[in-house]
Structure formats: structure tokens, C-alpha cells
Structure 1
Amino acid sequence: MEALRLFQSLNRAQRNTFIACFLGWTLDALDFFLLTFVFIPVAYEFGRTIPQVTFAITLTLMMRPLGAFIFGWLGDRFGRRIPLMIDIIFYSVVELLTAFAPNFAAFLLLRALFGIGMGGEWGLGASLAMESLPTKARGLFSGILQQGYAFGYLLAALVYWLIFPFFGWRGLFVTGALPALLVIYIRAHVPESPVWERGRAKQKPRLKISILLKQHGALLSYAALLMTAFNYMSHGTQDLYATFLEKQRGFNVDTKSMITVVYAIGAICGGTVIGFLSQRWGRRRCIILAALCGIFLIPAWIFAPVTAVLIAGGFLMQFMVQGAWG
């Protein structure tokens, strides 16, 4: 209810900006997770092993920091809005080109380039959204914005379910080019960040990186370590789960899709519920509790003897993993 009340209190420009940034992050995640559903057919077509194909995910994640640096610099120099549109077009075009990759080397190159676009989207989108919202709404809406990642996973599962049986893995990546249409919405309805506009009007002295590291180096190291652990937990439980369901459990497309849809719903629910509880119990306490619960859920998540328990274990596992994020 609080989220609805705050959303209604926003003006039209603020609502449009948040919706655009949420969709940008959701569709970015959609494009990333599409590959996680088709490791096996991609490996078969290119005559590679599954571990060789999963290296494409590693390349994508490795290139994300480079994308964050490039588009972060562009965002500081030219504003958040225009670089965000360029970034969305960039990763959408790369996603489309992936559908026509003629060989495995080209496929890996394109997934590396996608990582640059993926890395740029979050920083630009989050900055534009948070800088456009009133201070009282930023805490809650930053958590909602992060849930776009879980919504992207849900969309990827649904797209796989509907598209793959008819058009194969290449058809999925053609569908993944649709986020480019979001640029039309941003161009028409989203204004530039007011914080960036005010900053451009004021000539601020440049801060030296050495001074920043001296003042905030310990906090930066802690944050980097924490986010490394969070990403290990998130990608470790998501990226190969669809392959596990097909390869180890022998599920067909329909069953695999249904389980991953439930899995994604668990992530959305966890991020929302535990994010709400953290307002009362504190962030650290909720993170620790969710992570510990996730450990105890591993047997049901992987080794469940029956499908019903596996589905429940998957739902609860993502509830805890994304709950820690929330």
C-alpha cells in the first residue's frame, strides 16, 4: 500500500522515468537469461560441450564492469537519458545479431559485447530513476527497481516456453531485440535527470580518485566483497538451473518452463517480502537470515526425490536469494 501511495504522489515525469528505468532493467535481464535456457541446443548446433557454451555467460559478466565504466562516463558527461537510449539500442542490436551468429567464435564475441551493454544499463537506469524521484521515495523504489531483474527472469522463462518449441534458440534472440522499442518511450516521455541538470549548471571541482579511495576505500572494499557474494549466490542458483532441470532431471520444455516460472515468482516474492521486513528488522539481520535459510534449502532445491518438492524447494530458494538482495 505504501508503494502505491508513493507512486500516486509522483508527477507524470517521475512516473514515466521510473517505469522506463524499471522496464530497461527488466528487458536487460530478459536478454541475459534467454541464453541460460538454451545451453544444450546451442552446444549441439556448434558442436561444443555445455561448459564451453556456458563460458559465454562468464564473458558477459566479465565485460559488465567495462560497460559500467564506459556508460557511466558517458552518463556523467552527456546526461543519463541519451546514453541510456544508446545503451538499450546497443544491447538489443547485439541480441539480434546473436540470433544470426554463424559460428561459435562469433557467438562468444557477441555475448561479450552484450556484457558491455548489460553493464551500462543498470548504472544509467538506476541513476536516472533515483535522481528523478523525491528523497522520501528513493529507498522503497530502489528495491522495486532491483526486482526488475527477477521479472526479467520470469519473462525469459515465458518467452522460452512460448517461442523455443516453434523457432528454436535463434528465435529467442530475435525476440530479445524488442527492448529497442523502449527507446521510443524514453525519447517521448522521459526527461533528463534533474540532478545532472543542476550539476551541469554548477562548475564543481573534480575529485581525485586517490582522495576518494583514501576516504572511502574500506567501505568500497566491503561493498565490492558483499556484491561479489551476492552475485555468486544469485547467478550460482539461477544461470544453470534450467540446464540442470533438463539434463539431470530429464524434464521436457513444458515442465522445465513451468518450474522456472515458479522459480522466478519466488524471487519476486522474496525480494518484496524480505525487503519489507528489512524496514523493521534491519538490513543486515534480514540478509543473514535469508542466506542461512538458503543453505538449509539446498537439499530440496537440488536433491528432491519428487517434482512437487523440487518446485517448492526452487520457489523457496529464490525467495531467500532475492530476499537477501531485496
Structure 2
Amino acid sequence: MSTTTADGAGGFPNAPSFQPAIVGPLERKHMQNANYRAVAGDGPITPTHKHIAVANGLGWGFDGMDGVIFALVSPLIIKDFNLTVPEYRTGLQISLFVGIAGLYFWPWLADRYGRRTLLAINIALFSLLMPVVALSPTFAVFVIARSLVGFALNGEWSLGSMLVAETWPARLRGRVISINRAAWCFGASLAGAITGIAAANWGWRTAVMVPGVIALLAIYVRATCPESPYWVRAQDRRTRVGTALRKGEPVSEVDRAWFLKADRVGIRQVFMPDVLPSTFVALFVACCSTCIFGTVGAWMPLYLAREKGWSTAEYSAFYVSWGIVGFFGLWLAGWLADRFGRRVGFVVTLLEGAVFLVAWIYTDNHLLLWIFGLAWSFGFLGFWGPSTVLTAEIFPTRIRGVANGVVWAIAYFVGFVLWPFATVALQQSTGSFKLAFLCIPVFMVLMAIGVWLWVPEHAGKELNEISV
């Protein structure tokens, strides 16, 4: 592979195509670390690559555990605090709104201070705050504590996905990020088991306590995961060009133009003309993703409990199987995204999920609810693989964190704060969540059409081939 790049390349033997010719002081410092050297070149997959993937996958697992536990115990929380559905929705939206700030805050910091350390910090904060939620004496305290948990956790998966994208080979990027994303399903399944055992026997507070032990992951992340070579080299390039400009030394027009953009990292950069097309595509994918997931993520347990007559133990058991099947959907979507392209990975899973979701909504047969429910989870969860891959790879390294933060913050606001008003309004006016759930396959079909028409193809491309 050539070692010449847009950064003006040549470098270490076997270095990847984004390796700069001039090794800066930060790179020299990191090259003393064996884990960094293992991912700095273009050699074979190493144990360090696997550590990074495992760390990101575990983080996704905790995200799934967190979200699904709170979804599964929502009927119990509503009963415990004597709430109406609109009251609970309002509390949930407040916590989501605060959590949105975390979606931007952590990636924004990551563009300045690196991916690895912040990944460890926000996972630790999430784990330590979960017991605080469990001890909430009132619903107001619950909402405040839940908001802090969301703020801490919401940056984790974007940081982890960026770290994987910036260390794994391009040919494997789609499937690795998708398989990592699939760990969310195992977290959801574990949440189902925790709720089915702990919440059913000892109450929702005990179930919420369990994830607190996961703080040890922060030690694992800090010890085994190196910093991103892309980020390190971008910092060295910024320092080198900035120093030359201050001293009045000659600087190429390419470096000068890059520095003027890289030296002003912020929201405005995400909407500059050179980045705007990528921003629109990422916003379309992210907003569709959150609107599709929002109704199921918030209301499926309540729907199954009130309208299908399922017990806490039964819908918890359903979530265990639902998450496991979803893992294979994500695995397939990632493989399709690398083998046949991002669009194919999206479209196959979106259409499969839409067809079986409609069948699930219209059946009252107990066995078919299980069969169709597990069938639609395959595509419904599967499309999130290409979705996460696209937002992790489409932006330049200089603003990858900020851009991911902006895109997903907007998407969370649209899908998890605004859209629930529509779903609850439909439930209140009809007395059922059926119509709200029927909106989901419509979104999925529309997203499949939009993806096929507008999403660019990045399969197999190095990140600096996509955007610099």
C-alpha cells in the first residue's frame, strides 16, 4: 500500500496510507507504547485491535442494558410513583434532553483531548451513577439522576465507534463496528434477564443497581486501548503548521487551508460548504434511526403489558430472545455493508424489519407475537450497524467528534424528545399504541428509499479517502 496521502505522506515501514511524512512530537511519544504501535501500521490484525473492538462492544452492551432496563421497568416505575403515561413521558423527555448535551459534549472534548481517556471516564461515570438512580425517593429525584446517567453514557458509543473506525483496516470497518453495535443486543438480552429475575422478584430498584458493577471496564479501556493514530497525527499536523505560520515560514496552500479549518473546531465547521453534504446525509440517517427506534425503545414493554396482557417476566424473556436475534441482524448488516456496500446493508435489513413488524402489530396470536417479534428484530436492530458505521466514517478527522456529536444530538432531539409527543398523542386519542407502532414501518421504507438515493458508498475506503 502506498504511504502517500493528503497529509503529505511517507513514514514508518508498513505504515497506513494516512501516515504523515513528518513524525511529530506527540506521535513519537505515543510510539513508545506497544499498543499504539500495534495499530499505527498497516500490518495484520493484532490483539490490540481486538481489545479496542471488545472495549467498544462492551460499551455498546452497557448502553443496551441501560436503555432496556429502564424500558422494561417503566410499568413498575409508573406504578411506584403513581404516574400517568403523559407524566412519565415528560420525565423521560427531560432526561433525554439533558442526555442530548452529553452526545455533543463528549465527542467535542474528544476532538481536543483524544478518544481513549474520555471513553473510560464516561463509562465509569455511568456505572457509578446507576445506584443513585435506584435510590431515588421521588420521581423528581429519579428524573435528575436519570438525566445525569444519560449525560454520562451518551458519548460512549460515538467515542468507541470513532476509535474503532480510526484503528481498524478499512476493509473490515463496517462489520467490526456493526458487530460492536450488536453487543447492544446482548446488553438488551441481559437487561431482560436482570429484569425478569431481579425486578420481578425484588423490584425495579434492584434491577437498576446491577449495572453499577461495570465501572471496572474503565480500567480495562485505559489499560489496553491506545489513542487513535488519526487523532494523534492531526494534532501533530496542527502544531507543525500553526508553528510555521506564527514564525512566517513557508506553508503549502493545502496545509494552510486545512489549518484554518482544523484550528476552529466547533459546531459552525459542521455546516461549512465542504462538510455540509456529509452533514445532511448523516442527519437523514441519524434522524430516521432515532424516530424508528423511539417508539419501540420507550413503549414496547408497556404495549405488551397493557394491550397484549404479558407479565413482566414474559416480556422480559421476550427481550432476551429479541436481543439475541438482533445480534445476528447486525452481524449480517455489517457483512453486507463491507461485502456489497453500505446501501445494501441498510436496505435489506430495513425492508425485512418493516414487513415482519406490520405482521406483528396485526396479530393477537400469542405464538405469532413471539415469531413475528423475533423476525422483525433481525432487521429493526440490524440497520443500526450501517447507520453507526456511516456517521463514524463520513466526516474528516479534524471534526469527527464534533460532527458526530452535532448529528446525533439533533437526531436524539427529533426522535426521542419531539417524536414521543406524536406517539403519546396517538395513544391518548385512540386508546392504543397500535397506530403509533404502525408509523415505524413507514419510516423504515422511507429510510430505505432515501438511503438508496442519497447515501454515498464508502466500503473499503480509508478515512482520508472519504474526507480530509
Do the two structures share a fold, i.e. TM-score over 0.5? Answer: yes
Q: Distance in 1 between matches of 2:302 and 2:270?
A: 46
Q: Distance in 2 between matches of 1:32 and 1:62?
A: 15
Shift of 1:92: 1.6
Deviates further, 233-242 or 95-104: 233-242
**Structure 2 residue aligned with 1:110:** 145
The answer to whether the 8 A contact 2:110-2:118 is kept is: yes
**Structure 2 residue aligned with 1:33:** 68
The answer to whether the 8 A contact 1:72-1:124 is kept is: yes
Which amino acid letter does the alignment assign opposite residue 25 of structure 1?
Answer: W
Shift of 1:299: 4.1
Unaligned runs of 5+ in 2: 1-43, 242-258, 386-468
Name the CA shift for 1:278/1:24 in 2 (closer, same or farther; >3 Å). closer
**Structure 2 residue aligned with 1:191:** 226
**Structure 2 residue aligned with 1:223:** 282
Measured against aligned partners, the alpha-carbon deviations of 1:131-184 in whole angstroms (never above 9, x if no partner) come to 232333323212112212222211211111221123211111111212211112
The answer to whether the 8 A contact 2:171-2:338 is kept is: no
Deviates further, 311-320 or 261-270: 261-270
What pairs up with 1:82-97 in 2 under 5 angstroms? Answer: 82-97=117-132
The answer to whether the 8 A contact 2:196-2:313 is kept is: yes
Q: Distance in 2 between matches of 1:142 and 1:225?
A: 20
**Structure 2 residue aligned with 1:17:** 52
Name the CA shift for 1:211/1:219 in 2 (closer, same or farther; >3 Å). closer
Q: Distance in 2 between matches of 1:74 and 1:90?
A: 16
The answer to whether the 8 A contact 2:329-2:349 is kept is: no
**Structure 2 residue aligned with 1:300:** 359
Which amino acid letter does the alignment assign opposite residue 273 of structure 1?
Answer: L
Shift of 1:316: 1.3
**Structure 2 residue aligned with 1:238:** 297
**Structure 2 residue aligned with 1:179:** 214
The answer to whether the 8 A contact 1:264-1:318 is kept is: yes
**Structure 2 residue aligned with 1:72:** 107
Shift of 1:268: 1.3
Shift of 1:323: 2.5
**Structure 1 residue aligned with 2:181:** 146
- TM-score, normalised relative to structure 1: 0.89
Pick aligned residue for 1:264 from 323, 327, 351: 323
The answer to whether the 8 A contact 2:192-2:318 is kept is: no
How many residues align? The count is 319
Measured against aligned partners, the alpha-carbon deviations of 1:74-106 in whole angstroms (never above 9, x if no partner) come to 212222121111111222222221001121111
SS in 1 for 2:53: helix
**What do you get for the CA RMSD once the two structures are aligned?**
2.3
Name the CA shift for 1:56/1:91 in 2 (closer, same or farther; >3 Å). farther
SS in 1 for 2:273: helix
Q: Do structure 1's residue 130 and structure 2's residue 135 form an aligned pair?
A: no
**Structure 2 residue aligned with 1:320:** 379
Structure number with higher helix proportion: 1
Q: Distance in 1 between matches of 2:175 and 2:202?
A: 40
Q: Distance in 2 between matches of 1:60 and 1:306?
A: 36
The answer to whether the 8 A contact 1:56-1:111 is kept is: no
Which amino acid letter does the alignment assign opposite residue 168 of structure 1?
Answer: G
Q: Do structure 1's residue 248 and structure 2's residue 307 form an aligned pair?
A: yes
Deviates further, 9-18 or 120-129: 9-18
Shift of 1:60: 4.0
The answer to whether the 8 A contact 1:262-1:311 is kept is: no
Name the CA shift for 1:46/1:211 in 2 (closer, same or farther; >3 Å). closer
Q: Distance in 2 between matches of 1:54 and 1:307?
A: 28
Structure with higher Rg: it is 2
Q: Distance in 1 between matches of 2:281 and 2:375?
A: 28
Name the CA shift for 1:211/1:325 in 2 (closer, same or farther; >3 Å). closer
Q: Distance in 2 between matches of 1:138 and 1:283?
A: 11
Q: Do structure 1's residue 163 and structure 2's residue 198 form an aligned pair?
A: yes
Pick aligned residue for 1:214 from 246, 261, 273: 273
Which amino acid letter does the alignment assign opposite residue 168 of structure 2?
Answer: L
Unaligned runs of 5+ in 1: 1-8
Q: Distance in 2 between matches of 1:178 and 1:223?
A: 34
Q: Distance in 2 between matches of 1:294 and 1:142?
A: 20
Q: Distance in 2 between matches of 1:137 and 1:276?
A: 9
Q: Distance in 2 between matches of 1:280 and 1:20?
A: 25
